[in-house]
Copies of this chain bind each other. A is one copy, B any other.
Amino acid sequence: MTTSSAAPDQHGSTAPTGGAPLIPVGVLGARGRMGTEVVKAVHAAEDLELVAMVDAGDWLFDVANAGAQVVVDFTRPDVVMDNIRFCIDNNIHCVVGTTGFDDEKLATVAAWLEPKPDVGVVIAPNFGIGAVLLMRFAQEAARFFPSTEIVELHHPNKVDAPSGTAVRTARLVAAARRAAGLPASPDATTDSLPGARGADVEGVAVHAVRLTGLVAHQEVLMGAAGETLTLRHDSYDRASFMPGVLLAVREIGRHPGLTVGIEGFLGL
């Protein structure tokens, strides 16, 4: 609502939206590409109050002083662990979009949270609600279809192929297929050019298209006798991640401990 550093006790007394107090939010990495979007989105949300914007060179203490209850972190892998540690110590919930988390780092965060049963941290590789729904639906539907393949399509400046989201989706599908006891997808191919049938991710073929003009798109194709079901997500703009970030900001107070991914916040 405002960018002032208003003290937290003020929020209880001002309740413009039907009596519920505003949630005071701090943004770390506020001048980065994603941070800038987060600042705009928090500012525009009627139930949130932007109380601190911090970037490299600023004092982290500002977010505590400003009374932030939730911090959103889109910084860098080399500083994010210090940020999370600071927030947990100061009883501030964290919504983390910074990348580079492996099992070891996740275990460290979980250990830090143990003595703080009221604090929540969510670390999410993808805040796009559409992308999260697509993965969820693919996972639910996979067992009903003998065949599933994935086609992801991106701008040609992308360095990895397939995309991380496509690989993750393929793994979820593969796990669902195994759990249902499905045999391998039928494929009579005997005469093939190298690469034609895509990358094999745990038995799921994944194809990566790179095309000038595209942004970020993914299709999951599932087929059974006489029918196909196709789930497609098109992402045109970083703005598409903001509803997921705001959802996490609103929900994290009700989810103490460590959460990976925002799927659990969608109430599916």
- Residues of chain A touching chain B, judged by Cβ–Cβ distance below 8 Å, are 128-131, 133-134, 137, 140-141, 144-147, 149, 151, 153, 156-162, 167, 185-201, 205-215, 221-243, 266, 268
Contact across chains for B128 and A227 when beta carbons are under 8 A apart: yes
Contact across chains for A213 and B227 when beta carbons are under 8 A apart: yes
Q: A144-B243, A198-B198 are in contact. Are A225 and B207 (CB under 8 A)?
A: no
- The residue that A199 contacts in the complex, of B193, B230, B237, with Cβ under 8 A, is B193
Q: Which residues of B contact A228 (CB under 8 A)?
A: 130, 211, 213-214, 233-234, 236
Docked pose: A239 CA to B231 CA in angstroms: 22
Docked pose: A221 CA to B233 CA in angstroms: 10
Docked pose: A56 CA to B169 CA in angstroms: 49
Contact across chains for A161 and B149 when beta carbons are under 8 A apart: no
Closest chain-B Cβ to A228's Cβ sits at a distance in Å of: 5
Q: Which residues of B contact A266 (CB under 8 A)?
A: 144
Task: List 9 interface pairs A-B (beta carbons < 8 Å), by A numbering.
Answer: A130-B228, A147-B210, A158-B189, A159-B191, A161-B189, A193-B199, A213-B234, A213-B240, A215-B236
Q: How many copies of the polypeptide does the oligomer hold?
A: 4
Contact across chains for A240 and B227 when beta carbons are under 8 A apart: yes
Docked pose: A206 CA to B133 CA in angstroms: 22
Q: A188-B157, A195-B200 are in contact. Are A212 and B207 (CB under 8 A)?
A: no
Contact across chains for B221 and A153 when beta carbons are under 8 A apart: yes
Given contacts A133-B140, A161-B191, A229-B233, 9 further A-B contacts (CB under 8 A): A144-B243, A147-B213, A156-B186, A185-B210, A193-B206, A196-B207, A213-B223, A213-B228, A225-B239
Q: Which residues of B contact A240 (CB under 8 A)?
A: 213, 224-227
Q: A157-B188, A196-B162, A232-B232 are in contact. Are A221 and B227 (CB under 8 A)?
A: no
Q: Which of A131, A134, A222, A224 has the most CB of B within 10 A?
A: A224
- The residue that A196 contacts in the complex, of B189, B206, B229, with Cβ under 8 A, is B206
Closest chain-B Cβ to A99's Cβ sits at a distance in Å of: 14
Q: Which of A159, A187, A192, A223 has the most CB of B within 10 A?
A: A223
Closest chain-B Cβ to A67's Cβ sits at a distance in Å of: 29
Contact across chains for A156 and B268 when beta carbons are under 8 A apart: no
